[in-house]
């Protein structure tokens, strides 16, 4: 294995003016589940964070649906619908799911839209005349025979099968023999290796990068990019007997949503700063997509970040087992923001993990109801009781009466957010929440009210100001509850959002005399 450079963080470097983050577009042969939600929430958190850094107009979040292919046609037929009727229905289900999860996507691209088809056709025409780094034609026509998994919409080698079956779908692959157009991927190995090694195109986490480098080292094989006998797809413009292979179709969405290479959005936002994807489709994003872009002479994405898989109570999600969880199920039980928190706080983004419904209940009650919710309620109630529901004047030396190092916490928070370590960023937030609760127990405001009102004023001010900064940290993760906390602290939320993050995290932003409100319970306990 070649020596690789250390990981570099995704960061808003000095002078960075834009940030473009994408989810994979989701295949609509089935309903949205929490696997889709997990990826989409992560992308949304990253987009919201960068909007705080760079301003809303300079950040673009894209998601959407992948709607072509044999599997879609089969699913439509099974449901006694036309393919277009079927995908219209399924795309709407995904859009409604993301609305309920408060996903702030700038666009929702569908591969059956004319704007997408136009770009795919244009790419085909350019690929027809493109050359590889070895001066060969980038695409060529040849006959191919192989094992094809309809579930994966991909050809498989014998070594990829388990007991002769697709390991993901547990079904036998079809033997397919047909003439197709091929992308000469074999000619791009050295170029892709050099781009990954130099860090020009990052693949993270490290084990996924090593996996891709290992595939390159063993030798890349040319891949079919068109199909015969698949009517539900975008026709190849110079070969009407062929339709675009579903993965080539799908990957093009990242540019078609920007209006193609001549679009205004493309000129502002391409290349993508982060493609967030799953490890089951890492090869398509890290090999086929970059090779296509090289052939088209277009810039490559800066980073491809691959999150892990998760199981439900130790078992793989399966309709047969009956453990597939819809996002709506969690939102109905916990609420939007709590669902977002629960999905991202369980294990490291990029690693495999396990979700337990029982554990979700326990975490909701412990972290959200008892720690965050109770802290906000206690502090606002004491402000109401001791200072007539207004912010007291901060008088005593900060270092003497408040041992929280929020500057260091913000530095850690930034590092974790820019490196997509969302659970670590949440840990920073919860360290502050727990320190505040411990601070209340230590300082005993109820006793200070009788003994020293000046120190009491400082204690309450410190708590209110830390809650304000905690709300700012929470904004990417729990936007609705963060807004609510700021409202309780007497802020007009829209005016807060107009400010850059560097201004929002300054100490002593709260003004003396600013009216606060106790409000309702943020997170009612589950019983």
Catalytic residue among 190, 217, 316, 357: 316
Q: Which domains does the chain have, with CATH numbers?
A: 19-307 (3.40.50.620), 357-504 (1.10.730.10)
**What pLDDT does residue 397 have?**
56
| pLDDT, mean over the chain | 90
Rounded to whole angstroms, the Cα distance separating 357 from 355 reads: 7
Structure tokens, 150: 């309809």
Mean pLDDT of 311-330: 79
* pLDDT per position as a tens digit, 460-503: 999 999 999 999 999 999 999 999 999 999 999 999 998 889 88
* pLDDT per position as a tens digit, 383-429: 999 999 999 987 655 555 455 678 899 999 999 999 999 999 999 99
In angstroms, what CA-CA distances link 115 with 85, 100, 112, 253, 453?
A: 19, 27, 9, 10, 65
* pLDDT per position as a tens digit, 216-226: 999 999 999 99
**Token pair 């006793």: residue:** 447
Rounded to whole angstroms, the Cα distance separating 202 from 21 reads: 14
> Which of 101-105, 148-152, 472-476 shows the lowest per-residue confidence on average (mean pLDDT)?
148-152
pLDDT band of residue 2 (cuts 50, 70, 90) is very low
Mean pLDDT of 86-105: 97
pLDDT band of residue 232 (cuts 50, 70, 90) is very high
Please answer whether residues 94 and 66 qualify as being in contact, where contact means their C-beta atoms are separated by less than 8 angstroms.
Answer: no
Indicate if 166 belongs to the active site.
yes
> Which of 194-208, 354-368, 431-445 shows the lowest per-residue confidence on average (mean pLDDT)?
354-368
Rounded to whole angstroms, the Cα distance separating 517 from 211 reads: 53
**What pLDDT does residue 395 have?**
67
Catalytic residue among 172, 190, 231, 319: 319
Q: Within a 10 A sphere around the Cβ of 422, how many other Cβ atoms? A: 25
Q: What is the DSSP letter of 393?
A: P
Please answer whether residues 517 and 490 qualify as being in contact, where contact means their C-beta atoms are separated by less than 8 angstroms.
Answer: yes
pLDDT band of residue 4 (cuts 50, 70, 90) is very low
* pLDDT per position as a tens digit, 172-196: 887 777 899 999 999 999 999 999 9
**What pLDDT does residue 3 have?**
44
Treating both helix axes as pointing N-terminal to C-terminal, what angle do 336-344 and 327-334 enclose, rounded to 10 degrees?
A: 120
Rounded to whole angstroms, the Cα distance separating 332 from 52 reads: 29
Indicate if 116 belongs to the active site.
no
**What pLDDT does residue 506 have?**
84
Phi then psi for 309, rounded to 5 degrees?
A: -100, 160
**What pLDDT does residue 394 have?**
77
Please answer whether residues 493 and 344 qualify as being in contact, where contact means their C-beta atoms are separated by less than 8 angstroms.
Answer: no
Structure tokens, 85: 């009727």
Farthest CA pair distance, the chain: 89
**What pLDDT does residue 402 have?**
52
Mean pLDDT of 107-129: 98
| Adjacent-strand bridge partners of 351 | 349
**What pLDDT does residue 41 have?**
97
- The number of residues in the chain equals 527
**What pLDDT does residue 438 have?**
94
Catalytic residue among 71, 166, 173, 484: 166
Mean pLDDT of 71-99: 95
Tell me which residue of 286, 300, 460 sits closest to 388, measured CA to CA.
460
Please answer whether residues 474 and 429 qualify as being in contact, where contact means their C-beta atoms are separated by less than 8 angstroms.
Answer: yes
Structure tokens, 333: 């039980």
Mean pLDDT of 36-62: 96
| 3-state secondary structure at position 11 | coil
Indicate if 306 belongs to the active site.
no
**Token pair 């970059």: residue:** 290
More confident site: 309 or 525: 525
Please answer whether residues 10 and 303 qualify as being in contact, where contact means their C-beta atoms are separated by less than 8 angstroms.
Answer: yes
| 3-state secondary structure at position 276 | strand
Rounded to whole angstroms, the Cα distance separating 79 from 337 reads: 34
Indicate if 126 belongs to the active site.
no
The sign of the torsion formed by the CA atoms of 307, 313, 314, 318 equals: negative
pLDDT band of residue 368 (cuts 50, 70, 90) is very high
Catalytic residue among 90, 149, 173, 484: 149
Indicate if 307 belongs to the active site.
no
In angstroms, what CA-CA distances link 316 with 44, 249, 319, 393, 452?
A: 25, 28, 10, 55, 58
More confident site: 336 or 228: 336
**What pLDDT does residue 6 have?**
45
**What pLDDT does residue 7 have?**
47
* pLDDT per position as a tens digit, 244-271: 998 899 999 999 999 999 999 999 999 9
Phi then psi for 107, rounded to 5 degrees?
A: -155, 155
Residue 308 has pLDDT above 90, yes or no: no
Catalytic residue among 90, 116, 152, 307: 152
Q: Within a 10 A sphere around the Cβ of 389, how many other Cβ atoms? A: 16
pLDDT band of residue 11 (cuts 50, 70, 90) is very low
Catalytic residue among 169, 217, 241, 525: 169
Indicate if 36 belongs to the active site.
yes
Please answer whether residues 201 and 301 qualify as being in contact, where contact means their C-beta atoms are separated by less than 8 angstroms.
Answer: yes
What percentage of the chain carries pLDDT values higher than 70? 92
Pairing of strands 239-244, 235-236: antiparallel
Residue 507 has pLDDT above 90, yes or no: no
Rounded to whole angstroms, the Cα distance separating 224 from 147 reads: 12
Catalytic residue among 33, 71, 90, 484: 33
Total H helices, total E strands in the chain: 23, 16
Tell me which residue of 89, 41, 51 sits closest to 67, measured CA to CA.
89
**What pLDDT does residue 145 have?**
74
Indicate if 152 belongs to the active site.
yes
**What pLDDT does residue 346 have?**
84
Residue 9 has pLDDT above 70, yes or no: no
The sign of the torsion formed by the CA atoms of 330, 336, 338, 339 equals: positive
């Amino acid at each position: 294995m070649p020596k690789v450079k250390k990981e570099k963080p995704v960061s808003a470097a000095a002078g960075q003016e834009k940030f473009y983050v994408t989810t994979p577009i989701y295949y609509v042969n089935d309903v949205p589940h929490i696997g889709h939600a997990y990826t989409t929430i992560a992308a949304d958190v990253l987009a919201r964070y960068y909007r705080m850094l760079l301003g809303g107009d300079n950040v673009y979040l894209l998601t959407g649906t992948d709607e072509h292919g044999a599997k879609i046609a089969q699913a439509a037929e099974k449901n006694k619908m036309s393919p277009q009727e079927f995908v219209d229905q399924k795309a709407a289900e995904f859009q409604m799911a993301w609305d309920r999860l408060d996903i702030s996507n700038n666009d929702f691209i569908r591969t059956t839209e004319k704007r997408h088809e136009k770009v795919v056709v244009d790419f085909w025409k350019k690929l027809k005349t493109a050359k590889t780094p070895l001066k060969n034609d980038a695409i060529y026509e040849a006959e191919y025979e192989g094992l094809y998994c309809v579930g994966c919409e991909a050809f498989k080698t014998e070594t990829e099968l388990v007991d002769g079956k697709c390991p993901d779908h547990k079904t036998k692959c079809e033997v397919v023999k047909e003439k197709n157009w091929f992308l000469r991927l074999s000619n791009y190995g050295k170029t892709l290796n050099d781009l990954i090694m130099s860090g020009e195109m990052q693949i993270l986490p490290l084990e996924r990068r090593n996996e891709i480098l290992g595939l390159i080292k063993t030798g890349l094989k040319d891949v079919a990019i068109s199909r015969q006998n698949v009517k539900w797809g975008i026709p190849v413009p110079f070969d009407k007997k062929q339709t675009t292979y579903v993965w080539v179709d799908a990957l093009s969405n990242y540019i078609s949503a920007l209006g193609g290479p001549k679009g205004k959005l493309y000129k502002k936002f391409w290349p993508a700063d982060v493609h967030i994807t799953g490890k089951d489709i890492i090869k398509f994003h890290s090999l086929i997509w970059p090779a296509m872009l090289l052939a088209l002479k277009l810039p490559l994405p800066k980073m491809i970040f691959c999150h892990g898989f998760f199981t439900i109570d130790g078992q793989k999600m399966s309709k047969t087992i009956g453990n597939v969880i819809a996002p709506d199920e969690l939102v109905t039980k916990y609420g939007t923001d709590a669902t977002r928190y629960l999905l991202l706080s369980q294990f490291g983004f990029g690693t495999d993990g396990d979700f337990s419904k029982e554990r979700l209940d326990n975490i909701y009650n412990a972290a959200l109801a008892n720690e965050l919710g109770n802290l906000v309620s206690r502090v606002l109630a004491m402000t109401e009781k001791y200072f007539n529901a207004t912010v007291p004047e901060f008088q005593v030396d900060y270092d003497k009466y408040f041992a929280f190092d929020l500057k260091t916490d913000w530095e850690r928070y930034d590092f974790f957010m820019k490196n997509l370590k969302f659970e670590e960023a949440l840990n920073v937030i919860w360290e502050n929440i727990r320190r505040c609760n411990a601070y209340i127990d230590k300082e005993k405001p109820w006793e200070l009210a009788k003994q020293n009102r000046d120190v009491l004023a400082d204690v309450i001010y410190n708590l209110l100001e830390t809650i304000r900064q905690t709300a700012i940290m929470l904004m990417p993760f729990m936007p609705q509850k963060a807004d609510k906390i700021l409202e309780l602290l007497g802020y007009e939320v829209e005016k807060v959002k107009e400010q850059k993050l560097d201004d929002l995290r300054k100490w002593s932003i709260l003004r003396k005399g600013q009216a606060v409100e106790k409000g309702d319970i943020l997170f009612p306990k589950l019983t």
